[in-house]
Structure 1
Amino acid sequence: MIDLDGLDNSIKKGKLEGSYVFVGLDEMIINENIDKIIDKTVDGQFKDLNYIKLDGMKVTFDEMMNACETLPFFSEKKVVVVFRANFLRDKTDAAGTKVYSQLVEYLKNPPPHCILVLYYLQNDKRENPNRNKKLTALEKSATVVKVDKLKGEKLYKKVNSIFEEKGKIIGKVELRYFCEAVENNFNIIEREIDKLISYTEGRDITREDIIKMLPHKSEDDVFDLVDFISQKKSEKSIDIMNELINKGENLMLILSLIQTQFTMLYKIKLGIDKGKNKDDLAKEIRRPAFICEKLMSQSRKFSYKQLYNCMKLCIDTEKKLKSTGFDKKTEMEIMIMSTLMV
């Protein structure tokens, strides 16, 4: 398994492999690095003919194989990209397991004229790709690239370049504060940059602007907490709550975010049953489409009764936290344990 620096070195030396598997949390960074492989391999004049993109959520093995087997047009090589290839996850359904097994066999003797690139996104930051046995097996025939989050100067440089591309200058102090405050995901970063630019039109960006416009970073942790509740993993749920407390988050704020999460899941579940699609629901809950997609998946893990009871538990706990006779941390732990049993 290599990192992005290892990939960059190989590309600069012109040493491209026959197949790649990317895994990480940030889809934008993954796609930017896949584009480097495409640009190095495919002549821009014939890109439409020698670059094929397939949806990994619904692709069949035959579709992948046919795309790879077709000869390139006026080029030595072609590139086939399978995005969001969830059949590469450690645990999948029977259909995904079948596609993965066929892929492993196919990669033992792939066509020399094609570079096959696949990627999937980690569910959360706690997922460790090194423990995925499917990736370990694929390393025998493919180059597995672990895409970590950008940090430090690399992060500052990348974020600053986005501001510049959009015609806005941000000071070094404000840039660093923005990078430290925003969620480290470039889909989110770009959206928040757009909001900041619109809000500060005609003037410089200040620290106060950043504080006012950015969403709370703890929302991502609460998503993970609720997801562990859906999986009946009490210890991990409480661990996340303790992480939030150690970061200095107020218990009432944590409870409010959990209650908001359950409320959104209830609304989304209703919307799905009414036939609403991802874009419609994203507008209703005022969240980006890619976040709404995750919430839709999470909502399916709960019944209406479970979500209703979880919301009621949040309200009952709020009353107790506002009283002086209860240990607030203990009450939060009791609430989390109770949600696991509804």
Structure 2
Amino acid sequence: MPLPQLAILHGDDDFAIAGRVTELKAEMGDPSLASLNIAELDGKTITLAELRGACDTMPFLTEKRLIIVRGLLTRLTGKTTDDAGHSAEEAAGAGASSQNFVDGLIAYFPELMPSTALALVEPKAVNERSRILKAAEKAPGVEIKKFDVPQGPQMMQWIIRRAKAGGGEFSPAGAEALATAVGDEPRMLAHEIEKLLAYVNWARPVEKADVEQLTPAAGEAEIWDLVDALGTRNAQLAINKYHTLLNMPSQDQFAIFGMIVRQFRLLLLVREILDNGGNTTLVMQTLNQKPYPAEKLVKQARNFTLSKLETIYRRLLDLDLTLKSGGAEDTTAIDTFIAGLTA
């Protein structure tokens, strides 16, 4: 596809943005010549004159010149806008120079040379009411794309699509386990996906067991399953999940027990939020949770009453004291505890 004359790539998924920038560079053709016609500039310090100078330079031995400017719109528009669509910086009258830059940039969009491709790359979303964004929408040959980090079930689909693009495959259970273990961190997820595909040699789908074997934080997925089993009163499944954790080389009994205690502490707090009229958004804000684990916490908390969670948490604290004092054999004590909860 041809290079857009003006591209605005913005949002918090820096990994996806980096991928699109790589595509733009690839569209420049022969790397030996492309490198002579690609300029990357710092939008935090660039002046309008410097930007125009870079964009008005003719390409060398190629048809196009690509100018990549990082962080300019974030600098000019600030984090918030007023009702008129002016940035916080503009609304506060932070300086005529900033206002002049905005006006000059808007006026320059239609004047871009046909041989120039200007890519404005932003580390956060630009407000849709921004005057700059509205003006850019009217420019010829424009590409404006917002890249959001996938949330909740979308993260699982992102993992599956990413694996397919890499020539491999993830089962739904494998994708869910990886999403639970890593969270909404696209760069880390991409690294783990590549590692897991190499582990199965691209010969079969990556399964949950593969994630548990290779991904350091994958033990958390088993904790979720263990708590799910407790919530549905499935003692055998809960005990099986506990022993699966014990067999993981990266886990020990005290670490596993600590994870169980932490999970029920979170569920207790979530149940209190729900009982007071709160929702998943409030859980995210209050407990500093990402969307995917917050949704799972809310779902799990609904399996228990507040009084039941308070009882479980007290018993966990009592068991913690017993284990630390040597009053019981660790594995047997926790097996008994799990069986008692599901009785």
Rg (Cα) greater in structure: 2
TM-score of the pair, normalised by structure 2: 0.49
TM-score of the pair, normalised by structure 1: 0.49
